[in-house]
Amino acid sequence: MVFMDGSWLLSAIGGCVVLVGFCVPGARAAGQDDVRVIIRPKTVYAATDGVQPRWRFNLVAINRREDSLTLEEVTIAVSASGHTETRTQAGDEIDCITQGTREIAAGAVIVLDITDSGDDPERGEAVTVTLHFSTPAGTTLERSCPVALLHRRTAYLGFPLAGRWLVANGRPEQHCVGVGFGFDLIAEEDAPIHDDPPAPVPPLSGFASWGSPILSPARATVVDCRGSRPDCPPAPGGPASFSGRMPQDRSQLVGNYVLLKTERDGFILMAHLKQDSLRVATGDRVRRGQVIGQVGNSGNSTGPHLHIEMLDEHADLAAIMTTRLDASGVPFGFREVICERDCVVVPSSKMVPETGDVLREGG
């Protein structure tokens, strides 16, 4: 089951970022900054709880040459405590490409999803990604990108829903506005609809997720919210609401939303809320467990669900899917929650969900 979620516009390849509509500068001649490399997010956080992947970022490479390039090899070197561990992917074994192909036309973009392999040092301090390209003339190009890892403890929030909820996108298929950590939650009863969409697809009111109360996961302040956008018709198994087109106001991708600022952990974004269901306004103080809205299907979505993530800054949602987005995703999980993984109860007072887990409030 894959959701086309309304933070980044996602492809059906495990929650990887697809920069649809990414603005590419005009191609330049070789030798004039002929390959531009951009790292997103701005700050790359490494979770200290050991849950995989501990860190994740996207590398965007833009071919600014007048001819094509072929990506021949990707080398990922993780440094920690004076030593470095290296892994290499070459040729058709390169499996971290999430947009584009190894053959990069003039002016085109390739996006790589770079994650902790699980074999890297426990407390990596930096990652260096080296890209090796070949040209039609037989020459080679190499670009190295050092990325610092900022260690951050995992924040644990209260569970924002009542009942049993399936994690449709979790570790390791994470996705979010800030790149790296985030979850999609759907009512367990809705899973069969998304796995095997019936004909006809039920109306929104036929989904158990639809209209479910959303609870504040922490004591916080509402710093931004939107509640007037219409809900979109459901399309389980099909394209999401904005597939193939980009709204002028890119914040429309998250639909109706609430952005909370906690006292110490950062910002919490909850998206795709039901139209006119908001129970809070900007500036309100909310307590943990307070009803703040209802699950809906606004924004870029295939069916009613709740998207939740944490960010380190007050995100400008109009900058979604552009390199202007400054906010970075931070690692988080839930406290006082009961998790069922492969039909086995996983006992834990604090836990970071994985795709396929079923969660329910346990406090």
Residue ranges of domains in the chain: 35-152, 155-361
362 Cβ partners below 8 Å, 6+ apart? 159, 336, 337, 338
For the chain, the residue count is 363
Asked if 203 contacts 256 with a C-beta cutoff of 8 angstroms, the reply is: no
Q: How far apart are CA 209 and CA 15, in angstroms?
A: 21
Report domain 35-152's class.
mainly beta
Q: How far apart are CA 314 and CA 325, in angstroms?
A: 10
**What would the two tokens of residue 127 be?**
């990652």
Tens digit of pLDDT per residue, the chain (363 long)? 223 333 333 322 223 333 333 333 333 333 447 899 998 888 999 888 767 778 888 899 999 999 999 999 999 999 988 889 999 999 999 999 988 999 999 999 999 999 888 776 667 899 999 999 999 999 999 999 999 999 988 999 999 999 999 998 876 565 677 666 889 999 999 999 999 999 999 999 999 999 999 999 999 999 999 999 999 999 998 888 887 777 888 889 999 999 999 988 899 999 999 999 999 999 999 999 999 999 999 999 999 999 999 999 998 888 887 777 888 988 899 998 999 988 889 877 888 888 899 999 885
CB atoms within 10 A of CB 206: 14
Give the pLDDT score at 118.
73
Give the pLDDT score at 358.
95
Parallel, antiparallel, or unpaired: how do β-strands 155-158 and 332-335 relate?
Answer: parallel
The pTM (predicted TM-score) of the whole model is 0.85
Of 36, 45, 19, 41, which Cα lies nearest the Cα of 131? 36
3-class DSSP state for residue 317? Answer: helix
Structural domain 155-361, CATH architecture: Distorted Sandwich (2.70)
Q: How far apart are CA 187 and CA 226, in angstroms?
A: 23
Q: How far apart are CA 185 and CA 176, in angstroms?
A: 13
Residues 196-237 pLDDT 10s: 999 999 999 999 999 999 999 999 999 999 999 999 999 998
